[in-house]
Amino acid sequence: MSIRAVPRRARMVAAIGVLAIAVPGPALGAAGFGGVGPDQGSYLTDSDPYVVTSGAVPGTDFHALINSGEAAFGTLFEGIPDGIGVVPSAAPLGFVDLYVTHEQSPVPFGGFADYQNSSVSRVRVDLSTWEIVGLDVPLSSDEGLIRFCSAFMAGPEHGFPHYTFIVNEESNDALAVPDGALYGADPAYGGLNVRQAGYTAYVDTANGKVGVIAGAGRHNHENTVIVPGGWGGIFSVSGDDTFTFPSTPARPNLSQLYAFSSQNWKSFQKDQGTMWAFRVTGTQDGAVDPEDSFNGANDYLDMAPGNVWTGEFIEVDPAVARGDTADAPQDALEDWSNDNNIFQFIRVEDVAYDPDDPRVVYFADTGNTNLIDNGDGRLYRKSPGAAAGGRIFKIVLNEDDPTIVDEFSILAEASDLGMRNPDNLEVGHNSLMVQEDTNFFSKVWMYDLEAETWTHVATATQEKAETSGIVDVSRWFGDGWWALDVQSHVNLKTTPGQVYTHPVTGAETTYTARREDGQLLLMYVPGS
């Protein structure tokens, strides 16, 4: 059981004291911009923030940094900003680097496609002026990776002496493999130079090295979060934010919670490790057979608020994890998960741990409204079905073994709060912040960890926009400050009449190329 033995604020101060002694500054050099000084100039968007206060927390404020389509220091800030990670400077230099993913893909969807693949921007912010003093692209679209979603910065507190930005492909598209790629073709495509999306990748911010973690599995990775639970080695948790169709009883294409373990940071970067998948071992009524698909504890609709269950992560077949089978990698993993009664979520979104109690991990499930139980113990999507508007889940990992889940529960049923489709989240010392993904003025919510209350604190200003990527930056900007971004879902620039050729079937699709609007900004919520 997780017990908060002392007030959160007291533990925050103690933790900072330890960090001040034990955490080294980031390595500077080849991957750095160089020095920061007033003669180098600065940049700040003229745009108003794309998020406004709800009025529920007086004093809430926003500071816009840069918009998609704007250029600074010779670099364009691309569209659809998403995951954010922070690398601090050595103490005297007074800046932070915000690493930002761009969720772009040239594969058409709904008649549109982006001009380029995903990339990562590095935005250097001066801590005295809160202006941008550097902008570059440490992970280029030339790597052929797509649909980068949420992201995580692993640092010294996670066992990484080199700050390492972990990014994730949220896609199952078949893609041509470019020359010199970090990955090869998949055997499922019969000798074609094609692979399926769904990789976890990384950028070593100290030396600029980029790599792919194939062993962490091929699925619609929302995020891959290193949990510093004190076990030794590296243990990450990742959700499969699947939206794959068709969904049938034979292959439901639903969502699972996965993990990846490795001996240390170097072996993690070298793709040496083991993939794991979560299933339930017990409910409030006692132990269940985790392999029995009729155990009443293997899917989203089996669970109710107030339930506190137990579970385990079991090892995934290495060939399935790495995509080395005759089936498309994501199909092979889906089939394996059903054969092994892995817990079926709907769409697992972002993951975050409590910095004051790191074995406590929260994750969002954005929900769905067309789930069907086919009578075989597994769910699939079909309309009409049972409504499920999203949840915030909580797990507590075992003190001695992270593959044992001591507690599995529902922190919040979104519909009970008026929350819609929870997506991204982050945990600070005082609160859990949750961002909706809707198409109607998406909200930002705050959960007070002590008072156990929910408050709607902010709202996107554009009707179709979603906020995303939220991270706690209070260590550098002051108590109550968060970095986040906005995906406007409004096109800045379009080029119609483009033709896309599918790399497997050869089918041609006419589409409009575009760059979407977006914004990187800071948010202040007093008491958060």
As a three-state string, the secondary structure of 477-510 is: HCCCEEEEEEEEEEEEEEEEEEEEECCCCCCEEE
271-274 long-range contacts (CB < 8 A, ≥24 apart) are 271/211, 271/212, 271/213, 271/214, 271/215, 272/215, 273/213, 273/215, 273/216, 273/234, 274/215, 274/315, 274/316, 274/318, 274/321
Q: What is the pLDDT of residues 264-300, one digit of tens each?
A: 999 999 999 999 999 999 999 999 999 999 999 999 9
Q: Is residue 154 part of a domain?
A: yes
Q: What is the pLDDT of residues 42-67, one digit of tens each?
A: 999 999 999 999 999 999 999 999 99
For the CA atoms of 169, 174, 180, 184, the dihedral, rounded to the nearest 10 degrees, stands at: 90
Q: Say whether pLDDT at 160 is over 90.
A: yes
Tell me the residue range of the domain where 338 lies: 11-22+42-524
SS3 241: coil
Q: Is residue 398 part of a domain?
A: yes
Q: What is the pLDDT of residues 243-270, one digit of tens each?
A: 766 667 777 677 899 999 999 999 999 9
Beta-carbon neighbour count of residue 398 at 10 Å?
A: 16
Instruction: Give the CATH number for residue 457.
Output: 2.120.10.30
Q: Say whether pLDDT at 104 is over 90.
A: yes
- Beta partners for residue 500, in sequence order: 509
Q: Is residue 381 part of a domain?
A: yes
Q: What is the pTM of this model?
A: 0.92
As a residue count, the chain comes to 528
Q: Is residue 37 part of a domain?
A: no
Q: Is residue 2 part of a domain?
A: no
Mean local confidence (pLDDT), 422-450: 97
Q: Say whether pLDDT at 36 is over 90.
A: no
Instruction: Give the confidence band of 385 by pLDDT, cuts at 50, 70, 90.
Output: low
Number of domains present in the structure of the chain: 1
Q: Is residue 434 part of a domain?
A: yes
Q: How far apart are CA 408 and CA 160, in angstroms?
A: 28
pLDDT at 377: 79
Q: Is residue 36 part of a domain?
A: no
Nearest alpha carbon to residue 377 among 314, 289, 300, 296: 296
In one-letter notation, the amino acid at residue 502 is H
List the end-to-end C-alpha distance of the chain, in Å, as a whole number.
25
Nearest alpha carbon to residue 298 among 235, 328, 254, 260: 254
